[in-house]
Amino acid sequence: MARTADHEARRRQIAAALRALMADAGLDAATVAEVARRAGFSVGLVQHYFPNKDALLLFAYNDVMADIGDRVAARISEGDLREEAISAIVLASVTELLPVDDGRRGEYRVTRAFRGRSLDNPALVEVTRATWADLRSRLAAAVDNGKKCGEVGPDTDATMAATRILALVDGLADQLHMDPAGVAGGRPLPVAAEEIVRACLDGVFTGECQYYRR
């Protein structure tokens, strides 16, 4: 068991080195030799854990998307514990996808590099597809829960609402990364982006949650 845990820890350490390189200099700079150097391993040891670069890329892509999913899940749990309205929990969750600080800007660069690479790599395509399907499912479940507690109108299509929210957030992420110092409506772009997301959610979550009142 300890050997298995050590094996997984080293794979994650190598993947973290790859992600750091991609965040700093892009995918082209992330050669196996450079990944090994940054991870503090020999090239041979990296190749022991990952027989080729595509295997390393696939593992690292799954790793970064899992991290994002874990962060979103944590925001949901925190909101539940604080008995927040579903709309507030969704807002906190989807803003985790916006590159508004150094960590998330680096993460954005990594995920977009992987997304571009996935155009020619079916395994990476599947990671992208599964991740966005999972996010849509989580958002649709939140909208359905909103119907039950009174925050969302009964005729709202949950999957359509979830798809619209994700499309908006994804587009805003592109703008925030390309122009982090930009201004919209007289406000810094990160502030404007949150207002735009909030307005979208206000159009979905039009009522007031009755659950915690009871």
Q: pLDDT for 87-136, tens place per residue?
A: 999 999 999 999 999 889 999 999 998 888 888 889 889 988 998 898 89
Is residue 98 domain-shared with residue 188, that is, in the same domain?
Answer: yes
Residue 211 lies in a domain: no
Q: For the segment 135-172, what is each residue's pLDDT rounded down to a tens digit?
A: 899 999 999 999 999 999 999 999 999 999 999 999 99
Q: Do residues 26 and 119 share a domain?
A: no
Residue 209 counted as domain residue: no
Report pLDDT for 185: 94
Q: What is the pTM of this model?
A: 0.86
Domain ranges, residue 14: 1-51
Q: pLDDT by residue (tens digit) across 17-57?
A: 999 999 888 888 888 999 999 999 999 999 999 998 889 98
* Alpha-carbon separation of residue 121 from 58, 64, 103, 131 (angstroms): 10, 17, 26, 16
Verify that 37 and 120 share a domain, yes or no: no
Q: Is 177 exposed, middle or buried (0-12, 13-18, 19+ CB in 10 A)?
A: middle
Number of domains in the chain: 2
Conformation bin of residue 40: beta by default, left when phi > 0, alpha when psi is -120 to 50: left
Q: Are residues 40 and 75 in the same domain?
A: no
Q: 40 with 72, same domain?
A: no
Residue 46 and residue 95 in one domain: no
CATH number at residue 143: 1.10.357.10
Please tell me whether residues 163 and 148 are part of one structural domain. yes
> Is 76 found in the same domain as 46?
no
- Do 95 and 63 sit in the same domain of this protein? yes
41 and 61 belong to one structural domain = no
